[in-house]
Amino acid sequence: MTPRVAILTVTTNAAAHLPAYLGALAAISYPSWDLWVVDNASSDGSPGLVQAAFPRANILRNTENAGFTGACNRALHAILEAGSAGYILFLNDDTRVTPGFLEPLAARAAPRMLAAPMTCLDGTDGLLDDAVGSFDWWRGAWTTRTLGRAPSAQDRRPHLVDNANLSCLLVPVGLFRDVGLLDDAFFVYYDDTDLCRRARQAGYRIFYEPASLVWHRKGATLGGQATPFGCYYLARNRPYLMRKHLGRGPRFWAFLAYYLPTRAVRMTVWAATGRRSLAAATLAGLRDFATGRLGRRR
């Protein structure tokens, strides 16, 4: 079976890595898919590169940077309204797919099943990205990090997982009717963990399929997490995610008792080593969480 797939990508001044992304898409063997691209007010001609490579692509142009969540939600509304796709494949523009990556995901597809590939770091000899696994709802972090290590025997076997990021994830369209769209309060970062949590609470499952392989040029889109941009949204959104799903009970306060001292230590180290911009961004993120300033930072 080849259910129709809407491939959803967000671009923001992505001209440097878009050619590799688009070239890989042109080589995929799966026969039934459409490309949806939402451009976040790029100034480097990114939409034109997409249009030249895929004249029939659905390109939505934002007049300002709506973030990952806002851009995706705009496309999700349009895809659901069009009604032609059974599944939506979230795919980062800094990935490079292999020609047969989509068939194994589609084979695992089901109305209540999400499917994730094996994601490796581009430019390495098959080292893993931290794309799937379990999430620790005490610390607000991955239970076991796979980033930068070689695949283990477990990583080479298909299995169910608790959490997956949206660098590449196949999702049945019915999920968004059941649980809603992405939470725009995040803007970027932790929105995928929130979506997976809501999906599993609604009875959906997430399947990891290592027969599907995707390469990820990590950090190409946003510059990486160790930037003022990354530090701000990570510091703000992590406690927001935890409070959203744990409420204001003892587990959330236990998380804060762990989280705030670790941020204080990290900010102290950054300030002492000349990276004051990272410390300032982290402090701003914590302040904005405390005061309820979510979404895009103006």
Q: Is residue 223, in this structure, part of any structural domain at all?
A: no
In this structure, the answer to whether residues 158 and 12 fall within a common structural domain is: yes
129-164 pLDDT, tens digit per residue, is: 999 999 999 999 999 888 899 999 999 999 999 999
Q: Is residue 222, in this structure, part of any structural domain at all?
A: no
In this structure, the answer to whether residues 167 and 236 fall within a common structural domain is: no
Burial of 87 (0-12, 13-18, 19+ CB in 10 A): buried
In this structure, the answer to whether residues 262 and 198 fall within a common structural domain is: no
The span from the CA of 41 to the CA of 13, in Å, is 8
- Reduced to 3 states (helix: H, G, I; strand: E, B; else coil), residue 237 is helix
In this structure, the answer to whether residues 144 and 20 fall within a common structural domain is: yes
In this structure, the answer to whether residues 168 and 279 fall within a common structural domain is: no
Question: Average pLDDT over the chain, rounded to whole?
Answer: 95
Confidence (pTM)? 0.95
Structure confidence at residue 221 (pLDDT):
63
* Domain closes at, from 216, 241, 259: 216
Q: 288: which 2 tokens?
A: 């904005």
**For residue 234, what is the enclosing H or E element?**
helix 228-246
In this structure, the answer to whether residues 31 and 91 fall within a common structural domain is: yes
* Domain closes at, from 196, 216, 236: 216
Structure confidence at residue 298 (pLDDT):
73
Contact 71, 10 (CB under 8 A): yes
Q: Is residue 26, in this structure, part of any structural domain at all?
A: yes
CATH number at residue 183: 3.90.550.10
Structure confidence at residue 224 (pLDDT):
61
CB atoms within 10 A of CB 202: 12
Q: Is residue 221, in this structure, part of any structural domain at all?
A: no
Q: Is residue 146, in this structure, part of any structural domain at all?
A: yes
170-215 pLDDT, tens digit per residue, is: 999 999 999 999 999 999 999 999 999 999 999 999 999 999 999 9
> pLDDT > 70: what percent of the chain?
97
**Range of the structural domain that residue 84 is part of:** 5-216
Q: Is residue 89, in this structure, part of any structural domain at all?
A: yes
pLDDT at 61 over 80: yes
Structure confidence at residue 220 (pLDDT):
60
Q: What total number of domains does the chain contain?
A: 2
Structure confidence at residue 218 (pLDDT):
80
Structure confidence at residue 223 (pLDDT):
56
The span from the CA of 142 to the CA of 134, in Å, is 6
Contact 89, 170 (CB under 8 A): yes
Structure confidence at residue 195 (pLDDT):
98
CA-closest candidate to residue 174, choices 91, 109, 125: 109
Structure confidence at residue 222 (pLDDT):
59
3-state helix, strand, coil in the chain (%, to 5): 40, 20, 40
* Domain closes at, from 167, 194, 216: 216
